[in-house]
Amino acid sequence: MPKIILAANTDWFIYNFRYALIHKLREQGFDIVLLSPPGEFAGRLQEAGFRWLPWMLNRRSVAPWMELVSLLDLVRVYRREQPDLVHHHTIKAVMYGSLAAGWTSIPAVVNSISGRGYVFQGADWMACATRAAISPLYRQVMQRAASAVIFENQADRQYFLEHGYISPSRTWLIEGVGADPQRYAPTPEPHGPVIILMAARTLWDKGVGIFVEAARILQERLQVRMVLAGGPDPGNPASLTPNMLRAWHREGVIEWWGWQHDMERIYAQAHIVALPTMYGEGVPTSLIEAAACSRPVIASDVPGCRSIVRHAHNGLLVPPNDASALACAIELLVLDPARRMKMGAAGRQMVLERFTHEKINTATLQVYQHVLEAVKIG
């Protein structure tokens, strides 16, 4: 069977978002190699029996010599391993991995674009400068014959097509990474004050500041608990500091529960799940998982969130960067338990129809088979 390398900029990404996929690939008989910078999740992947290799990558670096070291380290790994297919996740892995695959004659390349984020949607000078710098490289790395680019929502796919990054024939649409409907199963609402949960890395870009501001607004109106489940990401410049999160927790404006491994238990404790992200997402996994647990969801009206949240059907969409609108949406659902139940049931059904791990991973495997067949034909 073919050897496949999955590469990402953190071991956390592979463990949290591709765990079900790599299990499916192993069951299918593929030779799987996982590649990322070292972190606390590499050991968990190895304990599960997967082969993991370290990649010398500094996510925050922009120094040319450090970036060159990262690229050459990837070339070294690809030349030694000689995989049949490489699947890159996250921006640096896509760029450097595609270059390294070309230089080492890796036959097939799959790149996943899980949202445009700050670089492609930010309007400040740093975002514009970074976008201008990487755009030519993006166009270069996505033009290989035996390659495919997976987008999680149609808006991102259209953006890349309109800006000439890739031709339509090389694009695939797979909505997120899915959720296990057996693990993330419906549970009754808990007793006590309504809990509004935000489950995400604690980044400004994810809307943590908006969530906190909405919590302050609601303190004057309702008896609710605003809970933030997620940890800082030191490798991301938009990460909040632990001290700031602890200060909000001590103040009582929110409850910070930190990173949680058993998220199904956390969703079961919540009544509503919110994600006031500032920019477009791929398709947010936390919203898929929450919907699978029959929880109504409130999210920013941006690409990706719109894929899983149908306004007034299984949740509510609010304008991004608008704490007042978020507070009003939360208040609406807090005061209407029957509506929460109806929306939660609708969300569960949507996940079963479109967002299960099995559906997403089967579609991903079809992309692999497509590019591998293209190599044989070529």
Q: What is the pLDDT of residue 322?
A: 98
CA–CA dist 96, 98 (Å, integer): 5
Percent of the chain with pLDDT over 70: 94
Q: What is the DSSP letter of 270?
A: -
Between 272 and 64, the more confident residue is 272
CA–CA dist 373, 107 (Å, integer): 11
For residue 32, pLDDT over 60 is answered with: yes
Q: What is the CA radius of gyration of the chain?
A: 21
Longest dimension (CA), the chain: 66
Average pLDDT over residues 132-155: 80
From 216, 231, 226, 213, select the one nearest 255 (Cα to Cα): 226
At 142, list the tokens. Answer: 């996505």
CA–CA dist 363, 256 (Å, integer): 36
Q: What is the pLDDT of residue 222?
A: 93
pLDDT in tens, 349-361: 999 999 999 999 9
Q: How confident is the model at residue 152 (pLDDT cuts 50, 70, 90)?
A: very high
> Strands 85-89, 108-113: parallel, antiparallel or unpaired by DSSP?
parallel
Give the burial class of 157: count Cβ atoms within 10 A of its Cβ; 0-12 exposed, 13-18 middle, 19 or more buried: buried
> Strands 315-318, 147-151: parallel, antiparallel or unpaired by DSSP?
unpaired
At 150, list the tokens. Answer: 């997976």
Average pLDDT taken over every residue of the chain: 92
The CB density around residue 261, as the number of other CB atoms within 10 Å, is: 8
DSSP-based three-state secondary structure for 289 = helix
For residue 26, pLDDT over 60 is answered with: yes
CA–CA dist 59, 37 (Å, integer): 9
For residue 230, pLDDT over 90 is answered with: yes
DSSP-based three-state secondary structure for 32 = strand
Q: What is the pLDDT of residue 91?
A: 82
Average pLDDT over residues 19-40: 96
For residue 327, pLDDT over 60 is answered with: yes
pLDDT in tens, 153-209: 999 999 889 988 888 988 999 999 999 999 999 999 999 999 999 999 999 999 999
From 197, 221, 152, 177, select the one nearest 296 (Cα to Cα): 197
Residues 6+ apart with CB under 8 A from 7: 34, 35, 36, 55, 74, 86, 87, 88, 89, 93, 97
CA atoms in the 13 A half-sphere facing the CB of 119 = 17
Percent of the chain with pLDDT over 90: 78
* CA torsion through residues 84, 89, 94, 97, sign: negative
Q: How confident is the model at residue 13 (pLDDT cuts 50, 70, 90)?
A: very high
CA–CA dist 145, 333 (Å, integer): 50
pLDDT in tens, 67-120: 888 999 999 999 999 999 999 998 889 989 999 999 999 999 999 998 776 667
Between 45 and 160, the more confident residue is 45
Between 237 and 321, the more confident residue is 321
At 332, list the tokens. Answer: 């609406």
At 236, list the tokens. Answer: 């991301």
* Beta carbons of 304 and 327 less than 8 angstroms apart: no
CA–CA dist 378, 374 (Å, integer): 6
Q: What is the DSSP letter of 23?
A: H
Average pLDDT over residues 245-263: 96
For residue 377, pLDDT over 80 is answered with: no
Q: How confident is the model at residue 60 (pLDDT cuts 50, 70, 90)?
A: low
At 67, list the tokens. Answer: 């970036």
pTM: 0.93
The CB density around residue 120, as the number of other CB atoms within 10 Å, is: 21
For residue 123, pLDDT over 80 is answered with: no
The lowest-confidence range among 10-14, 91-95, 206-210, 228-232 is 91-95
From 46, 58, 53, select the one nearest 15 (Cα to Cα): 46
Q: What is the pLDDT of residue 224?
A: 97
